[in-house]
Amino acid sequence: MSFCTNLDCLYPHNPDPARFCTSCGKPLLLKDRYRPLQPIGRGGFGRTFLAVDEHLPSKPRCVIKQLCFPEADGESFRKAVALFRQEAVRLDELRHRQIPHLLAHFEQENRLYLVEELITGQTLAQELQQNGVFSATQIWHVLKDLLTVLQFVHSRQVIHRDIKPANIMRRLPGGDLVLIDFGIAKQITATAFLHTGTTIGSPEYMAPEQTRGKALPASDLYSLGVTCIYLLTGISPFDLFDLTSDRWAWRDYLPSGMILDAKLAETLDKLLHNALSQRYKSAAEVLQAMNLEAQLVKKKLINSLNSEVGVDYQKLRDLLAARKWQQADEVTWVLMCQALSKPIGSYFFSGDIERFPCEDLQIIDELWMKYSRGRFGFTVQTKIYESYNNDYGQFCAAIGWNLPNSTSPAQRLSFSLSAPIGHLPSHLWAGGTQLWRHINALAAKLATC
């Protein structure tokens, strides 16, 4: 039986139970089970559309990629099919929560199809357009999340080839970054049909060696570096590269007042080096250079929520994941009281912070940073405080704590992700009149934990 595979027919034109295409009269089911709903993207080497799996009782939605090839002789197409099967097997082996699961692959009417898990959320390109440029803390989290998944991908001898903000999705709920759209269709086409001049990837994010047709793990790292400087500046990578001096001039385009850690800047520069000999060779090398081992331990700690003193942090995690910022702020105070074995609603002094259990402080801090995409958390607050030379008044003004004076605990808080960076969690738990002592104690405690 023949099926409708014309992208222009893939809309649900009529609710007929038989689901025949009103344009060509052919059934709309692919491989007897997948019903296309609507196109969601197309390019020179593939088409993507949203579909539903009619075979399963829950009728889950999925993504189907139809790989398109130019007219060629039968032998070339047979070679493309063989390569497609090989690449599908490799994709199937990439079982990682930050990579869409491959659900099926098949051939139908001289077309090739990949069926993948549907990831709901926003791409980093959409986030940039909606919320503006990323902070240094947010870039830290982007690097941390993506370097771990790239380490996994490269260990399976797979190279993504097209890392850019539009191919990085933040999964909702949860906030994990997911690497989408591996450049397989173009790779198969270039190889099977002997298009030796074909480059795979997006030119503005592509490493020099990749433009010459040779992609390496270091090429993905270069693209990740370009992605980061674009997110930091909002300026096209084409404009961030100074051709006259043959260097990246991204520092010249940082927003006024942005504070960038020297180690982060150094890491980005090495990711972006044109010469392979001076660039990072592997994701593991970058992780080591950024001293992320401790951060990865913290991440495991968050996943287990393993309190040092038996406090249950699941409610805080759930509230933050649901973006219920005000309730999360209230629960944070309650949990801090529990961690210190003090009555609920007790005020804390610098001595209380000094004896706060390290694992519990890290869990609270990292949960806030994770679910706010790096905008909120104790670490964010202490870095901002230090950037103002420990001036508490300037610190409060920077994070939007509109204090009548620097010794008052009264705050007019905004419980929204659009609040200033560092605005939450509040310090309503701070006791006494010398409130700067609490932020000093927090900074010292986080440094030693």
Give the orientation angle of helix 358-371 with respect to helix 293-304, to 10 degrees.
Answer: 90
CA distance 201 to 229: 18
Catalytic residue among 53, 145, 162, 365: 162
Pairing of strands 241-242, 247-248: antiparallel
Q: How far is CA 441 from the centre of its chain?
A: 32
| Amino acid symbol at 116 | E
Instruction: Name the nearest CA neighbour of 64 among 78, 79, 53, 77.
Output: 53
65 is in an annotated binding site: yes
- For the residues of 247-286, what is the DSSP string, one character each? EE-GGGGSPTT----HHHHHHHHHHT-SSGGGS---HHHH
Cα distance between residue 134 and residue 167, in whole Å:
17
Pull the structure tokens for residue 100. 């869409």
CA distance 152 to 102: 16
162 is catalytic: yes
Q: Where do we find the tokens 């204090």?
A: 403
User: Which segments are annotated as binding site for ATP?
Assistant: 65
Q: Give the active site residues.
A: 162
User: Which segments are annotated as binding site?
Assistant: 65
